[in-house]
Chain A
């Protein structure tokens, strides 16, 4: 069994285009401002928290592969570049990087645009849009930008699938198939997605962005955080409710200590939150609930939870953090990060 460390973090969120903006918003603890999102055919707009425009045009957008790409790819690339900044400074051309991009909704902007064009007249539907609709597009673009991705996977699932991605990244490292592995969760905002969320979980405010963890095997590349545990995937079924799955996940993750941080997925919707609240009812330590501040970012929100948990350890604020992910329709999973000696 290898030890797996976190070598870097990256985040794009409604708080801004890096981890420090995310940290600042979470430390402040106040929900970010809400914007209106026009919903065709409705007088009343939907609500969202948009990712703000970056202060200046990111340098990476000059890459030829990123022409015409949709926001989700921009978020993925920005988070990845931030998470790998220290490793890329090494500049070893033989460095093998793995890439796992986790998505729940994926490339909805171009999917909607392309299908709308198809319904109007398929003869004029843009061939430039269609390739950008596939789940694998952000991973493909990022691989082209970074240039040293040797192994890549795009995984789809509910937000807890982000931890499946982390587990797969750890497996690739243990098998020595890669030297480091980026695991990214990302989503983008679109009225149809906000509309779907309105139908399924009305109080939730849709948001978007990306979160990235770069995993490594080498102590000297560690940012001071070690991956200590990922629970099994406790899948919901006719015989196992969301409530039961959340409890089993909690039981597997262990009791924890009141000095540790719990980074949970509570968003303020009593019905959706009930299983997770019940599972952690006896938790007496500090809690951080990024969704209360940022909104419902689906897979990106799951990634932000992990980024925030690792950042709290890396910054020396906690010796250990627990991440609880009780997904919307697939599974409950948990993870634990602990302090390690920082190498970079």
Chain B
């Protein structure tokens, strides 16, 4: 029963035993780690739809493989995967393989997304207005547009099923999904949870950010004084979370430990953060409290850092306030400079990047960063560098004001 429940006598530690990632830098840990470590960027002219009449014309598009990896899906199910679901399948496949999990009937799946199968929704709408008497494919689109249906298909692909939770807190969705999964395990609702986020580039969303004049027409430079907006990307990331006890019993390879989570809502504005970053400060403090660490213990912050004027200045103020005397030496960067803003996938992808920094002991640079914003009192990682990284914090914030922070610890 979901209610009433009994809490475990001792709160279990939660570790990550599988991670899968798909971004415009490539599919899989290796190609992404190489790209992020070098600070490569993956932007190019948009090819998925006509962007000729938009202000911005570039994005970080994923090149999908010619064929998806073999799973339990049949040809009909595979044909019903849109771009977003295909990326989700790729990321899940990698995480699943790495975790060594066996199929199960009660595997919770917690996903963050802002758009789910939006490409089906767009196709449905276009046909409905352009060919109103044609019903071809419309029922399929109406069903597979829904993220919970895509999630069911992904669980089917791995011979599993279980409760599906779709968190849609805009661009904080991926982090909130992982945080929610972490809480499910800590409170005894599950021993293992598959979790992450996904979102594909779509015309509606691209046009939306362009209409808001939030997209950069030059290059995405988070925290740079000359920044002029964000760049959009697409992708997916999935992590396999389980109790430390469960991982040890299986002799599983542990990629890292998820130790802290904070979340709260900023009531300032639908699309703008509070200028002083009050809620950002709060969620970083919450995450530190749950992880029993202080800013002195944090070796790297993967910032939300969209590259918009308002986000970065607000986040910079909050980080400085939170970090105190540690500010001047605390390495910070935004990997959105490499792969763009992945919206509902951002928090999950950035969680996997944090695991990379912990496993491989380097920091992801922003090569285009030159002139720090005046509010930016911390060092921005702007060239490839190796580093001692034991504890990292990742920030994600969304339209609507939900903020989330996650803290990961190196596993040795």
Contact = CB atoms under 8 A, between A and B. Distances in A.
5 closest A-B pairs by beta carbon, nearest first, are A41-B132, A136-B400, A130-B208, A140-B400, A237-B161
A22 B142 CA distance: 29
Contacts of B122: 115
B30 interface: no
A122 B129 CA distance: 17
B383 to A, nearest CB: 36
Interface in B123-149: 124-126, 128-129, 132-133, 135, 138-139, 142-143, 146-149
Interface stretch (A76-84, A150-158, A262-270, A314-322): A150-158
B129 A116 contact: yes
Instruction: Decide if the interface of chain A is mainly helix, strand, loop or mixed.
Output: mixed
A231 B2 contact: yes
A170 B129 contact: no
A39 B133 CA distance: 11
B129 A40 contact: yes
A4 B4 CA distance: 9
A161 interface: yes
Nearest to B157: A238
B278 interface: no
Contact of B132 (A40, A123, A330): A40
B132 A331 contact: no
Given A140-B401, A143-B401, A240 B161 contact: yes
Contacts of B53: 121-123
Interface of A: 1, 4, 39-42, 65, 99, 103-104, 106, 111-112, 114-116, 118-119, 121-123, 125-127, 130-137, 139-141, 143-144, 147, 149-158, 161, 163-164, 166-168, 170-171, 174-175, 192, 195-196, 199-200, 227, 229-233, 235-240, 252, 329-331, 333
Contact of A196 (B55, B142, B161, B271): B142
Contact of A41 (B105, B129, B146, B213): B129
Interface stretch (B250-258, B260-268, B297-305): B260-268
A263 to B, nearest CB: 17
19 contacts: A41-B128, A99-B265, A115-B125, A122-B210, A125-B208, A125-B211, A134-B114, A135-B114, A143-B265, A151-B265, A156-B113, A158-B146, A168-B180, A195-B128, A196-B142, A227-B3, A231-B1, A235-B152, A330-B164
A156 B212 contact: no
A167 B3 contact: yes
B2 A141 contact: no
B139 A200 contact: yes
Contact of A111 (B138, B167, B204, B398): B204
Contacts of B124: 192, 196
Contact of B149 (A111, A122, A330): A330
Contact of B265 (A119, A132, A149): A149
Nearest to A191: B128
B220 interface: no
B5 interface: yes
B116 interface: yes
A229 B164 contact: no
A168 B54 CA distance: 41
A170 B187 CA distance: 13
Contact of B146 (A104, A119, A170, A174): A104
Contacts of A42: 132-133
B18 to A, nearest CB: 21
Given A123-B55, A140-B270, A140-B402, 20 more contacts: A39-B132, A104-B146, A114-B211, A118-B204, A127-B212, A130-B209, A136-B168, A140-B267, A149-B265, A150-B265, A151-B263, A174-B5, A192-B125, A196-B138, A230-B2, A232-B163, A237-B161, A239-B161, A252-B1, A331-B164
